[in-house]
Structure 1
Amino acid sequence: MEISRCNFPEGILYDLDNFVWLKNDENDRSIVTLGITPILISLAGKFTKIKLKQIGTNIEKNKSVASIESVRYFGMVRCPLEGKIIEINDALSYNPKIVNDFPYDDGWFVKIKIDNSDSRNVNSDKKADNLKFIDQCHDEIKLLIEKLHVRCFSAFPDYEMFEIGVECAATLTKLGELIGKIDMGNIVHVVSDDLSADLEMIRWSEETGQNLLEIRKEGNLYHFIVKKTK
C-alpha cells in the first residue's frame, strides 16, 4: 500500500513507536524478520554504517538490535518484542544502502525467535499490542509522514543538491559536474525554485542521456530524481 508516495506492504506488522516492521516466518510462526520503515529511512538519509547485534543475543522489549548511521543521523533500531537473534543480514555491514533501496526485501536486519514461542503468531502475543497491520494504522502513518516531513521518491538519493535562489543554468552546470564524478547508477536529488526548472531539466536529460526518474512540485519547489546512466 502506498501512503504519501511511501510504500507500506500489507501482511506485515508495523511498530510506529520504533519505525520498524515485523514479518512472521512462513514455516515457523515464532520467528520474525525485522526491518525499518521508510519513515526512519527518510529521516536518516543514506546510510553509511550499520552495526548488528550478534547471533545469540537476547533482546529485551524495545531494546536495540542494531545501530544505524548516516551523515546526518545516528540512532538505534529497536525491537518491540522479547526474543533471541538467530540470524543477521551480514550484507548490511558492507553495503548499508541496501536498506535505503530495498527496506522490505534485501534490506532486512535480523531474524528473532520471539518469547512465548507457543503463540501462533506475533499478532497474538500480548506483548505485541503496539504492532498493527497497515489497514489498522494507515491514518496514523499518514499523520506521521506529514508531521515529520517525510519524502519518499522513486529511487533513494545517493547525493542531494539544494539549489534555492540559483538560476537553473547554474544548477545544471553543477549537476553535470557531479554526474561526471559519481558512479554509474547513482541517484541525485535536485531541489530548485527556478520557475523554468522542470522544462530545463527535461531538456538537459534529453541532451545528456541521463535518466530523469521523477519530477515533483511541492509549493514553489521542484524536486528532481536523476539517475546516472552513461
Structure 2
Amino acid sequence: MEIDHCVFPDDLLYDLDNNTWLRIEENGNVTVGVTTVLPAIAGKLTLARLKLGEVEIRRGQSLGTLESQKFVGPIPSPISGTLLKTNGLVSDQPRIINDSPYEEGWIARLKPAHLPLERILLSKTTESRIPLAQKIAQFHVRCFKAFPDHEMSEIGTECSAVLVRLNDLLATIPLGEVVHLISDDPTSYVEMVAWSERTEQSLVDWRKEGNLFHFIVKKVH
C-alpha cells in the first residue's frame, strides 16, 4: 500500500499508535521495525541504542531509542516475547532506518509469547489506510525515494542561480549524500533534468506540490 508516496508493505502488521511494524517469519518468530512515518518525522537519524541479549519484552516496552537532531524517542515493541537479537547494522549506521525501514533497517527479532492474542491489537494495511493518511497529513510527512541529508529551499530564485548553489553544495558533501531542493521556478523541472544529464548527477525523485517543485538529488561522483 502507498499513501502520499509513503510505502506500507501489505505483508506486515502495524502498531499505528507507535509507528512500528511486525512481520511473522516462517519459523514463528517475528521481526519488528519502524514505519516510514517515524523517520520522516524524526529526520536523519544519528543514533540508535538497541537492547542486547535474550531478555523478556512486554508489548509496549522499549526495544531501544532513536535519536536525530530534532527527535529522541523509544521504539515500543508491538508484541510481547523474548528478544532474540537486535540489528547491529542499525546501531552502527542509524541512517539505514531512513533509507530502508522495512528491509535492512529492521530493529529486532523476537520469539513471541502471546502472538494469537496480541496480533488482534495490530492492523493490516486494509485497516490502516485512513489512520495512516491522517497521521501523514497531521505531521506533514513527505516520503521520497531517497532520504535527504541536506535541504535547499530556493523560493523566489531563478533556477540558473539555484543550480550554481546546488553545484557548490555538491562539491562540499561526500559521495552518496542526498539533497532535497525546493524551487518555485516554473522552468525548474526542465532545467533540473537537463542539469542531471549534463552533470551525470542522479535526479532520484521529484514531484510538484501546488506551485512548488521538490527534487531529490544524489551525489554519485
Q: Same fold (TM over 0.5)?
A: yes
Aligned match of 2:99: 101
Residue correspondences, number: 221
**Contact persistence 2:21–2:78 (CA under 8 A):** no
Aligned to 2:79: 81
Farther off after superposition, 31-40 or 195-204: 195-204
Cα-to-partner distance string for 1:29-67 (whole Å, 9 max, x where unaligned):
2x2110000111110111111110112232222121011
**Residue 34 of structure 2 is aligned to residue 43 of structure 1:** no
Alpha-carbon distance between aligned partners in 2 of 1:128 and 1:148, rounded to the nearest angstrom: 27
Change over 3 Å in CA distance of 1:18–1:200 after alignment to 2: same
1:14 aligns with 2:5: no
Q: Which amino acid aligns with 1:5?
A: H
Which of 63, 69, 72 lines up with 1:71 in the alignment? 69
Residue 70 of structure 1 and its aligned partner are, at CA, apart by: 1.2
From 177, 197, 205, the equivalent of 1:214 is 205
Unpaired runs of 5+ in structure 1? Answer: 117-121
Q: Distance in 2 between matches of 1:102 and 1:182?
A: 22
What letter corresponds to residue 13 of structure 2 in structure 1? L
Aligned partner of 1:119 in structure 2 is none
Q: What residue number does 1:227 align with?
A: 218
Partner of 1:92: 90
Counterpart in 2 of 1:33?
A: 31
Please give the TM-score of this superposition, normalised by the length of structure 1: 0.90
The CA deviation at 1:74 is 1.3
Moved over 4 A (4+): none
Identity, % of aligned pairs? 43
Question: For structure 2, which runs of at least 5 residues remain unmatched after alignment?
Answer: none
Superposed displacement of residue 225, structure 1: 0.7
CA-based RMSD of the aligned residues comes to 1.5
- Post-superposition shift, 1:200? 2.3
SS, match of residue 171 in structure 2: helix
Q: CA deviation at 1:107?
A: 0.6
What CA distance in whole angstroms lies between the structure 1 residues aligned with 2:207 and 2:200? 20
CA–CA separation in structure 1 for the residues paired with 2:59 and 2:196: 49
Which segment drifts farther, 37-46 or 193-202? 193-202
Which of 167, 190, 197 is residue 188 of structure 2 equivalent to?
197
Equivalent residue in structure 1 for 2:144, among 141, 153, 167: 153
Distance 1:149 1:57 in 2: 36
Are the aligned partners of 2:205 and 2:216 in contact in 1 as well (CA < 8 Å)? Answer: yes
Paired with 1:213 and 1:219, the residues of 2 have a C-alpha distance of 20
- How big is the shift at 1:130? 2.7
Q: Which one is further off, 17-26 or 162-171?
A: 162-171
The one of 49, 55, 58 aligned to 1:57: 55
- For residues 92-114 of structure 1, what are the alpha-carbon distances to aligned partners after superposition, in whole Å with 9 as ceiling and x for unaligned? 11111111111111110011122
User: What is the TM-score normalised by the length of structure 2?
Assistant: 0.93
Tell me the equivalent position of 1:111: 109
C-alpha deviations, 1:111-145, integer Å up to 9, x for none? 112223xxxxx3x22x3433011112122212221
Query: Over residues 182-216 of structure 1, what are the superposed CA-to-partner deviations in whole Å (9 max), with x where a residue is unaligned?
Result: 22222211111223222222222222121112221
